[in-house]
Amino acid sequence: MKIVPCSSTAQEGWLALRQALWPVGPPAEHLLEMQALLDEPGRFVQYMAYEADGTPAGFVEAALRTDYVNGTDKSPVAFLEGLYVAPQSRRNGVATLLVATIVAWAQAVGCEELAADALLDNEASQAMHRALGFEETERVVFFRKLI
């Protein structure tokens, strides 16, 4: 398994895996977001995992957050914005390697906490987070009122 930083929106597999994780929105929208991440390397990092034969296996995106992050005590906080492993590469340690890469980055920039979130009904994501060593800190329901 090879872990490499994403250095371009043309990074092999990044767009396709991003679309698999977040299927809402056209490719052009993803490409704009990807470029925005690349444009702020002090705030965002993103990595791809590749199988030995070069097949994209997964990706991770993280951010350095200085605003309040639910369930944390420190600032800044590294935040796992997205993590996805292709179905054929799951249960082979890809997510563990990607998260370890983010932990190393977070420690290098002075973070003591890595946070993440998952939707309340996404039990698979919650189980994955627990398997990766995350602990649940709180549950939140967001509201809005049109005015």
* CATH number for 97: 3.40.630.30
Is 16 inside any structural domain?
yes
Number of independent structural domains in the chain:
1
Task: Report residue 21 as tokens.
Answer: 């994780």
Q: Is residue 141 part of a domain?
A: no
According to DSSP, the β-strands at 114-115 and 77-85 are: parallel
Domain that holds residue 68: 2-131
Average pLDDT, the chain: 95
What is this structure's pTM? Answer: 0.92
Per-residue pLDDT tens digits for 67-125: 889 889 989 999 999 999 999 999 999 999 999 999 999 999 999 999 999 999 999 99
Domain-located, residue 20:
yes
Instruction: State the Cα–Cα distance between residues 50 and 16, nearest whole angstrom.
Output: 13
Assigned domain for 136 exists: no
138 in a structural domain: no
The token pair that represents 51 in the structure block: 């199988």
Note whether residue 147 is domain-resident.
Answer: no
